[in-house]
């Protein structure tokens, strides 16, 4: 069944922490951004504890867990020490992502089939702590099938190829791939979220795809917030995906 409602908005606050870590200072405070986002219409707060700790730190997670009122979605790799931390912090949701040290941002989705066992172990540990698990995957039937086989209830489709398309023809092609993947995953009973690379120019089209539950957007909102403030940036995005 297709969802007819507008997607929710998850605001990723990683790059507030990036700005702080540039100087290893105390500002800007990611928790502050999270609370303003919630007050401005965010439906969830997303943070990625990367293995190299380039932005979000463990202390941020503990503070976010204490303060976020909507839903805390922790993006994370399946590395054992990261799963240990997640099991201790117990966010509402964990989104499993692939992670490479050298990448500027998460470059692709999880390759589920060859990593099936490792991902399954992480899911099992997280679910024991009552954490809802989502898998960040490319809009691809093989990945969707493998995710469904793992028994997760939720996936997030990587919108990077659509967002980074060099021309209209390419963008249309990747948009159709996304639509097909949403339908395919929904037919398998999965809750479907989407994100990566979405901004004030390309998010509205994705928001119109029926069946997407939530869009997770970070970089574009933090960039806009640097100029117009966080409340305004979140409200503008919320209005745009309506």
Our answer to whether residue 158 is catalytic in this structure is: no
Task: Return the beta strands (E) in the chain as ranges.
Answer: 8-12, 44-48, 72-76, 93-96, 132-137, 154-158, 191-195, 212-217
Nearest to 74 by CA among 59, 99, 91: 91
Our answer to whether residue 75 is catalytic in this structure is: yes
- Name the minimum Å distance from CB 40 to ligand PXP: 17
Our answer to whether residue 15 is catalytic in this structure is: no
Q: Binding of ligand PXP at residue 48 (CB under 6 A)?
A: yes
- Name the minimum Å distance from CB 158 to ligand PXP: 7
Catalytic residue of the set 15, 55, 158, 196: 196
Query: Judged by CB under 6 A, which stretch of 51-59, 117-125, 178-186, 215-223 contacts ligand PXP?
Result: 215-223
Residue nearer to ligand PXP on the CB measure, 30 or 218: 218
Q: Binding of ligand PXP at residue 73 (CB under 6 A)?
A: no
CA distances from 28 to 23, 34, 65, 218, 232 (A): 11, 11, 18, 15, 17
Query: Judged by CB under 6 A, which stretch of 54-62, 84-92, 192-200, 223-231 contacts ligand PXP?
Result: 192-200
Q: x-or-dash pattern for ligand PXP, window 193-212, by CB under 6 A?
A: --xxxx--------------
- The binder of ligand PXP chosen from 95, 143, 147, 202 (CB under 6 A): 95
The rounded distance, in Å, linking the Cα atoms of 30 and 25 is 12
Task: Pull the structure tokens for residue 75.
Answer: 């993006």
* Helices assigned H by DSSP within 53-189: 58-67, 80-89, 116-128, 141-150, 160-163, 168-187
- Which positions touch ligand PXP (CB under 6 A)? 12, 14, 48, 75, 95, 97, 105-106, 136, 156, 195-198, 216-220
């Amino acid at each position: 069944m297709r969802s007819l409602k507008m997607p929710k908005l998850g605001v990723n606050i990683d790059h507030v922490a990036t700005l702080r870590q540039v100087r290893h200072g105390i500002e800007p405070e990611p928790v502050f951004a999270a609370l303003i986002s919630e007050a401005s219409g965010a439906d969830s707060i997303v943070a990625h504890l990367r293995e190299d700790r380039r932005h979000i730190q463990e202390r941020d997670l503990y503070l976010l867990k204490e303060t976020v009122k909507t839903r805390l979605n922790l993006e994370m790799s399946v590395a054992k020490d990261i799963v240990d931390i997640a099991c201790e912090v117990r966010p509402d949701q964990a989104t499993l992502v692939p992670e490479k040290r050298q990448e500027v941002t998460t470059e692709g989705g999880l390759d589920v089939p060859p990593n099936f066992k490792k991902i399954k172990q992480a899911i099992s540990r997280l679910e024991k702590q009552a954490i809802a698990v989502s898998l960040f995957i490319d809009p691809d039937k093989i990945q969707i099938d493998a995710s469904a086989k793992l028994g997760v209830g939720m996936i997030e489709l990587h919108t990077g190829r659509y967002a980074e398309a060099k021309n209209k023809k390419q963008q249309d092609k990747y948009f159709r791939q996304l639509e097909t993947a949403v339908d395919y995953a929904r037919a398998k009973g999965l809750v479907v979220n989407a994100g990566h690379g979405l901004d004030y120019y390309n998010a509205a089209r994705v928001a119109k795809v029926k069946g997407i539950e939530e869009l997770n957007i970070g970089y574009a909102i933090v960039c806009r917030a640097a100029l117009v403030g966080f409340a305004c940036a979140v409200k503008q995005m919320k209005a745009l995906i309506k």
